[in-house]
Chains A and B, each alone.
Chain A
């Protein structure tokens, strides 16, 4: 039995009287790749942002390893070091080169010496296939390359778990493949990952568990096979096949 890295209990988020999600329970074990799917506006991205405390949940608890990070007095900056995040719009630091983007957290947050940080940053860029783009600014990179730098930036911190918030949704179809390829490799290497995505091909191939969310709660979760072929709810089947049809073409191109 592998040990849980993230444990979520009864997590709830509201904006005013609008409930984004309610009473979410979730366990992410070491080495798991969990894919969260669901229609837009169901709170998937907000859930992800609650997991690393970028957004404050209104109720429930989260544990990272054995530490309750929703407890009062938690050093949030310290927690976030250990949870990598990749954003839909990449969100690279625009004034820094690819190398500097990856290096910044190492130097400023981990207080790594300049030389060591540079070596480590170059390694991480090589890991996503971009060693030759180290000196390029985000504005000089394609969307796919920017997203891979984003992944390298998060990886450099040696996180316990990586969160991906629709990492390919802002990309042209022909650039999606290179990002998914990096993510696939990470999953194979045993990185623990929580991925919000519409890429059903990726979900089926890589996910250990798929979670189907709708209207702020988890409708169903299970292995890809279980969800695609033996869903408990008709709604799950409907959504899965609709989205596969929609995005399947894109994947074939990529």
Chain B
């Protein structure tokens, strides 16, 4: 097999890697964001439940959770490994994103919430127009870190047979006896994806920075 086809074989897994990431990251975002607001504003009991959710999910290695969730999902609703794996990673990420957003909400809320209520806004309005726009800005640095983790953790779905970058690197290294070249290629692709993502999010962060005097 010639070199370019070797590279191409591995690189074509990027579509799966991106696919898994683009499902896992936004679903983790959505679940994490909603749960964070429930945790902060939903009362004591809801806060406790969110604590349990996040502590349990963050206390188990992602690969173990992936297997558990995958077998639960593929058994119950017969999802393909790609979808089951992506959603599982999304659920795992939601626990981490919950903590990121909870911290951001807590550091904005309190006084800003009080100021918004004093103008006559309802709690929901205060969250929507005052807390949310500020907490999102605060959360971006930690969130881009989580985005990098999800991109890298997308490689875990190789274990349930999704032909993404790592899976292909493994297959071709076995058939060509070129493990070093195969894994270096995979590493470079992952690195490029993480690097670009962080750059883009850094730009978003700068763009959203609220002007202030030094």
Interface residues of A, Cβ cutoff 8 Å to B: 52, 54, 77-78, 80-82, 84-85, 87, 89, 91-95, 104-105, 108-109, 137-140, 153-154, 157
- The 8 Å CB contact of A95, one of B111, B122, B125, B210, is B210
Check if B119 sits within 8 Å of A104, measured CB to CB.
yes
Check if B114 sits within 8 Å of A54, measured CB to CB.
yes
How far apart sit A54 and B123, CA to CA, in the bound complex (Å)? 12
B194 CB to nearest chain A CB (Å): 29
Check if A109 sits within 8 Å of B125, measured CB to CB.
yes
How far apart sit A209 and B29, CA to CA, in the bound complex (Å)? 54
Residue of B nearest to A136 (CB): B211
Residue of A nearest to B110 (CB): A91
Contacts of B210 in A (CB 8 A): 94-95, 137, 139
Check if B115 sits within 8 Å of A91, measured CB to CB.
yes
Check if A109 sits within 8 Å of B212, measured CB to CB.
no
Check if A93 sits within 8 Å of B116, measured CB to CB.
yes
Check if B118 sits within 8 Å of A108, measured CB to CB.
no
Check if B125 sits within 8 Å of A108, measured CB to CB.
yes
Chain B 109-151 against A: per-residue CB contact (8 Å), 1 yes, 0 no? 0011011111111100100011001100100000000000000
Contacts of B8 in A (CB 8 A): none
Residue of A nearest to B123 (CB): A77
- The 8 Å CB contact of B120, one of A95, A138, A157, is A157
B4 lies within 8 A of chain A by Cβ: no
Instruction: Pick from B115, B120, B212, B213 the residue with the most CB of A within 10 Å.
Output: B120
How far apart sit A144 and B211, CA to CA, in the bound complex (Å)? 18
Check if A139 sits within 8 Å of B119, measured CB to CB.
no
Contacts of A105 in B (CB 8 A): 119-121
